[in-house]
Structure 1
Amino acid sequence: MISPAEIFARLGSDIGPLMFVGSIISHYLPHELGSYINAYFQRLVLFATPCIQITFNELAGERPTRNEAYSAVENYLSIMYSKEAKRLKADIKNNSLVLSMDEYEVAADEFEGAKVWWVSGKSCSKTDTNSSYYKLFFHKRHLDLIIRRYLTHVLKEEPNLRNPRRKLYSNMGSRWSHVVFQNPATFQTLAMEPEKKKEIILDLNVFSTAGGFYARIGRAWKRGYLLFGPPGTGKSTLISAMANHLGYDTYDLDLTAVEDNTELRKLLIETSGKSIIVIEDIDRALDFSGQMRKRKANGEQEDMGRLGIQERETKPYQVTLSGILNFIDGLGSSCCGERLIVFTTNHVEKLDAALIRKGRMDKHIELSYCRFEAFKVLAKNYLEIEAHPLFPTICSLLGKTNTTPADVAEHLTPKTISGDVETCLENAEICLQNLIKALEKEEENVRLKSEEGGSVRNHQLKRKKLMMPQDHLIINEKRARS
């Protein structure tokens, strides 16, 4: 006669097939009915067997965000179980095909003699619409092994997690969403003066290893960067290079999509450590403590237009300078460490002094026009050359004109891409000639503007001299009367 213990043991070994049956039944029924039946089927299995279930939901928290534990399980299963599962789903990540378990699929795993089963599914509840999950089933006698060692193996020892994919977050209103960060910019390819580049790299390296220092002096482990300069000078590219150098995630914060300071604080709290929080064109994104509204009331429409305030007439916008200052160094900014806060602007003179003082924006970096050292980096990147007979001419012209790295890069982009050496040399010659023509034209425009400005000044001086005798007569007449 079979004992109850043996019955439970046999049922425990058959969890996989039972889960498979439940998943198949739910798959061929309408979505809501199938999910309902599958949930109760799993409860029945748990009631009839000495098993424990652990659920990993895709979304977590009151303001649903992507659950990192779910992502870790998904990565683990994509490698370990794609060969075993019968139904797979495909995705493209980092330009490669990745296979993972389809919904309502079951796969088994074994770890140090303990057998476990993974079940994938999708929730249809009102709060978690279209939210997926993974459920882990195992015999209760393996509880300590699973909790202490197996889950550690899944969540931390999986190879992809040792080199996690960096993410680019953007706020959709008051919530973050993300995609894989794939910008390839590095400091090696960044068009910048070598000394300034070394200075920035050193500063980033010191910051990333200074956790103990910040704790000792009683400050939050964060640092502010202000990047300023004309459009096209590489501010966004520098941010990408910083993220790739440090291995940080990037949060691209659109202030115009945030309703008020409360929503701004919530977004800040939901950011993670080892990240860069970016606000681009800060001068256009903020209503500085009502100052611009006051200008609008006085009829200064030109300034209002430059700062993008007119478009907010139909939409409440309550993010203030005070809210931004609290965002940078208020209590919420200390919720986690190792973060960079980066502001970019084309007009640094418009920014409030309280916003960019040291302690908030600790390092100010000016990105200016392209000079010869930056040009050589671009020539190596685009044309794969480090020297050319035309370089001295270009060096002279760059010193006389204000041309951005973006403009130079456009002229250095070959019209045809080929690995043939002769074609590459021909492309380089054509591109450099085109750049010289553009720089000469710019030099001519600068000369004409200078001459026009000189002629205007000469005209003003002549007019002043013509007015002087009459002025003297008036003065003498006044003296005589007195």
Structure 2
Amino acid sequence: MPSTTSVLSAYTTFSASTMLARTMLNEVQNLTNQLIPQQLQEKVLAKLGGLIGYSSSQMTLVIDEYNGLSLNQMFEASEAYLRTKISPSVVRLKLSKAPQEQNFSLTVNKGEKIVDSFDDVQVVWQMICTETQKTKADCDGYFSSESVERRSVELSFHKKHKEKVLSSYLPHVLERSEAIKEENKVVKLHSLGNCYGEVNLDHPSTFDKLAMDPTLKQELMDDLDRFVKRRKFYKRVGKVWKRGYLLYGPPGTGKSSLIAAMANYLKFDIFDLELTSIHSNSDLRRLLLATTNRSILVIEDIDCSSDFQNRQAGAHNQGGNQLTLSGLLNFIDGLWSSCGDERIIVFTTNHKDRLDPALLRPGRMDMHIHMSYCTPSGFRILASNYLGVNDHSMFTDIEQLITEVDVTPAEIAEELMKSEDVDIALKGLVKYLHVKKIERGKANGGEKEVSEQEREPESKGRS
């Protein structure tokens, strides 16, 4: 029988060996973590598990930020949803704030994990970021290399909950994210052309401030309301869920303000397409893919883009390398127009008669909106906006003069801004309208005189 001393000695030796082994193991683990990335460790362990027949009970879904050339809707939804699930245990967050925004924006930083539960199912989200090098051309055509961050989120859960996660939890995330984005959405203005950029659209224009015909304004609002509610209708009839509007009229009648009012009303982003910077149909298709759902695509002053007025322009210049009318038509309602949902296309022009009829038919430009010179009702809206008055003794004279001259809402607004005193501002407007009336009379008199002079030689010849 061993003595007490020998037993204690053996125990001490065993304890020391155990401590040494544990210390060495910790050192090896720390060294491994420093030298081998966590993702690579997980892949190696997964491979080893497969070789020895080990099967993990966990399943992981990888959701990349991009699906080919398009944004991954599920990634965007996850990012918005996870902002509402940030717990006190999360120690690293990304903080941002645009100059026009009132509040800070917090997002999950790379490597952080967020635990969520849904219908007794526990899931774990983790943000993954990797960096790659990408070569790109700037606005002047110079090439440069930049570091690009590739982002994805990983969703992990027990394998037995796979069906519930796919059929119930992820649709729940999508639905909640849409509601969250709608509540917090800031309308953005995107520039599409040689250089892509975006800013927050901090434009104050709303429908109630627009100096346009009240009946036409209500018709447009009703049309927009019908459009956004008709997802199932468009699918049932086999049409792409989009709508086209042509805004035409002289400069200064509020076409750009109307576009901003539409964006603010629907909370749709605006994509401003600069045709002069696009050189081929393929460029046009590439830019179309950069637009998002629930957006307004704007092509202003399309009558100034003479390249589209000749259907054969591309046939005479470098074949298919040119931007052609047929390319634009396919962009509006061809196969490429189906690359997205709930989109609005707006053309503006000062001269509707100069446009190719192919651009104007229903299905391309569904509603034609005439932005006319200012009307009496439009003047009253402007007076309320700029002077804060709804009635005045000079209103009758002003409204009568407005019916006798061609004056734009922009011209009237400029006169009303010249003084904060209501009487002074309105007197100045009356004077301005009288001058325009006199100028119009002189112009009409000159035209009449020229016409009589042209007829005079004809009468002499007959005599």
Structure 2 counterpart of 1:103, one-letter code = K
| Distance of 2:382 and 2:279 partners within structure 1 | 41
Report matched runs for 1:67-82 at 5 Å. Answer: 67-81=72-86
Deviation at 1:233, TM superposition (A): 1.1
> Alignment partner for residue 149 of structure 2, among 124, 127, 130?
130
> Alignment partner for residue 409 of structure 1, among 386, 403, 413?
413
Residue 100 (1) aligns with residue 107 (2): yes
Deviation at 1:177, TM superposition (A): 6.2
Pick closer, same or farther for the CA change 1:76–1:330 going to 2, 3 Å.
closer
With 221-230 and 91-100 compared, the bigger mean Cα shift is at 91-100
Deviation at 1:383, TM superposition (A): 3.5
| Distance of 1:449 and 1:292 partners within structure 2 | 41
Report if aligned partners of 1:253, 1:279 keep a CA contact under 8 Å in 2. yes
Pick closer, same or farther for the CA change 1:338–1:78 going to 2, 3 Å.
closer
| Distance of 1:151 and 1:95 partners within structure 2 | 30
Deviation at 1:319, TM superposition (A): 1.1
Q: What is the SS of the residue equivalent to 2:407?
A: coil
Deviation at 1:394, TM superposition (A): 2.8
Report if aligned partners of 2:412, 2:429 keep a CA contact under 8 Å in 1. no
Report if aligned partners of 1:72, 1:154 keep a CA contact under 8 Å in 2. yes
Provide the residue aligned with 1:447 in structure 2. Answer: 438
Q: Figure out how many residues of one structure are paired with residues of the other and give that number.
A: 408
Deviation at 1:279, TM superposition (A): 1.3
Q: What is the SS of the residue equivalent to 1:344?
A: strand
Provide the residue aligned with 1:278 in structure 2. Answer: 298
Pick closer, same or farther for the CA change 1:214–1:154 going to 2, 3 Å.
closer
Deviation string 1:381-431 (CA, Å, 9 cap, x unpaired) is 33333223332343233333333222333444588xxxxxxxxxxx3xx25
Deviation at 1:227, TM superposition (A): 0.6
Report if aligned partners of 2:312, 2:324 keep a CA contact under 8 Å in 1. no
Report if aligned partners of 2:192, 2:271 keep a CA contact under 8 Å in 1. no
Provide the residue aligned with 1:255 in structure 2. Answer: 275
Deviation at 1:105, TM superposition (A): 3.0
Deviation at 1:196, TM superposition (A): 1.4
Provide the residue aligned with 1:202 in structure 2. Answer: 222
Pick closer, same or farther for the CA change 1:169–1:233 going to 2, 3 Å.
same
| Distance of 1:86 and 1:206 partners within structure 2 | 46
| Distance of 1:124 and 1:203 partners within structure 2 | 46
| Distance of 1:456 and 1:171 partners within structure 2 | 44
Structure 2 counterpart of 1:91, one-letter code = S
| Distance of 2:348 and 2:298 partners within structure 1 | 8
Percent identity between the aligned chains? 35
Pick closer, same or farther for the CA change 1:398–1:157 going to 2, 3 Å.
same
Provide the residue aligned with 1:8 in structure 2. Answer: none
Deviation at 1:202, TM superposition (A): 2.8
Unaligned runs of 5+ in 2: 1-28, 50-55, 135-146
Deviation at 1:44, TM superposition (A): 5.3
Pick closer, same or farther for the CA change 1:57–1:182 going to 2, 3 Å.
farther
Q: What is the SS of the residue equivalent to 2:345?
A: strand
| Distance of 1:370 and 1:341 partners within structure 2 | 25
Deviation string 1:167-207 (CA, Å, 9 cap, x unpaired) is 54635448976555554533222221211112222333344
Deviation at 1:372, TM superposition (A): 1.9
Pick closer, same or farther for the CA change 1:411–1:106 going to 2, 3 Å.
farther
Structure 1 counterpart of 2:175, one-letter code = K
Deviation at 1:124, TM superposition (A): 0.9
Deviation at 1:443, TM superposition (A): 3.1
Report if aligned partners of 2:189, 2:270 keep a CA contact under 8 Å in 1. yes
Deviation at 1:160, TM superposition (A): 0.5
Deviation string 1:233-256 (CA, Å, 9 cap, x unpaired) is 111222233334445444332222
Provide the residue aligned with 1:3 in structure 2. Answer: none
| Distance of 2:42 and 2:195 partners within structure 1 | 33
Pick closer, same or farther for the CA change 1:180–1:114 going to 2, 3 Å.
farther
Deviation at 1:67, TM superposition (A): 2.8
Pick closer, same or farther for the CA change 1:408–1:441 going to 2, 3 Å.
closer
> Alignment partner for residue 259 of structure 2, among 239, 260, 274?
239
| Distance of 2:414 and 2:382 partners within structure 1 | 10
Q: What is the SS of the residue equivalent to 2:253?
A: coil
Report matched runs for 1:367-386 at 5 Å. Answer: 367-386=371-390
Pick closer, same or farther for the CA change 1:410–1:146 going to 2, 3 Å.
same
Unaligned runs of 5+ in 1: 1-20, 27-32, 298-312, 416-426, 476-482
Structure 2 counterpart of 1:186, one-letter code = T
Report matched runs for 1:166-185 at 5 Å. Answer: 167-168=187-188, 170=190, 172-173=192-193, 182-185=202-205
Structure 2 counterpart of 1:117, one-letter code = V
Report matched runs for 1:47-58 at 5 Å. Answer: 50-58=57-65
Deviation string 1:275-334 (CA, Å, 9 cap, x unpaired) is 43321111123502548979xx9xxxxxxxxxxxxxxx9xx9711111112222323334
| Distance of 1:107 and 1:288 partners within structure 2 | 53
Report matched runs for 1:461-480 at 5 Å. Answer: 461=452
Structure 2 counterpart of 1:284, one-letter code = C
Pick closer, same or farther for the CA change 1:404–1:456 going to 2, 3 Å.
closer
Residue 355 (1) aligns with residue 375 (2): no
Provide the residue aligned with 1:398 in structure 2. Answer: 402
